[in-house]
A and B are shown apart, each in its own frame.
Chain A
């Protein structure tokens, strides 16, 4: 299998593979972290149901911050696919 590979092809290939790696591994942390937040919110609401709204709000704020790295991974992946 003799394949001619140009430099531009190599760069394009690296960018596409890099996009997959970026989004694939970048999604691990936020998924786990947001799950911790949701679990603790359920625990908290079980202990103090009258504060359910406050706890849900805190959970969502915490998850939004935790989500940010997942969005960075998405942005980097889309940049690698469409811009580079």
Chain B
């Protein structure tokens, strides 16, 4: 009974929060694509292609949230108080975890649309930079998905104790919310790298390197969040 209740509550929070980031990011990409086409109608095919590829990647974070929400709705296996907390924590983790990476993957897509509109010949290099940057921006949402699955499939057996419940909930909060900042931050870096690549395509490798170094540092806090979540799940 309480497990089902928590699963439905968690599912709502999961896709409710998880849809926000991707929708925002894809909206930014569509806005800048429309602006670029208005200025350069001849570049429309290249801009639309860039927009669709970029939006597809930005969508993945909310698809993770959808998967976890559907699992919670259709398969809330188990019973008991601890299982209830675990199901809610899994939903909260993936919902919060999709917020930042959704926007973060949308930012480079928007920058790539502007860039391709301005100089269509830079399309291949800008697309490469965009996709690499988006991939890094998505990693925190994959950490959140990992922790949500671990909680969903491994946690909640045994009797309810307050410390055990707090550890599972804490793990979900840690992995979920720690994805917000790094996802967004990696998106800022990738967005600037796309614009720089469009301005000087011959220096694309230099921008890619700077972007990756900056993103790697920016990702570190999401790895701390993952480590704390794993400690809370398996060591405590």
Describe B's contact surface by its main secondary structure.
helix
Band of interface residues on B: 35 or more
**List of B residues within 8 angstroms of A64 by Cβ:** 217
Contact in complex: B210, A56 (CB < 8 Å): yes
For residue B199, CB closer than 8 A to chain A, the reply is: yes
Interface size on A, residues (CB 8 A): 54
Contact in complex: B166, A38 (CB < 8 Å): no
Q: A31-B182, A35-B185, A39-B188 are in contact. List 16 more A-B contacts (CB 8 A).
A: A13-B163, A17-B170, A19-B232, A21-B173, A25-B177, A27-B221, A28-B177, A33-B181, A35-B104, A36-B188, A39-B192, A42-B196, A56-B210, A70-B224, A78-B228, A81-B236
Which residues of B does A touch, CB under 8 Å? 2, 81, 96, 100, 104, 140, 160-163, 165-167, 169-189, 191-193, 195-196, 199-200, 203, 206-207, 210-211, 213-215, 217-222, 224-225, 227-229, 231-232, 235-236
Which residues of A does B touch, CB under 8 Å? 1, 3, 5, 9-10, 12-21, 23-43, 45-46, 49, 52, 55-56, 59-60, 63-64, 67, 70-71, 73-74, 77-78, 81
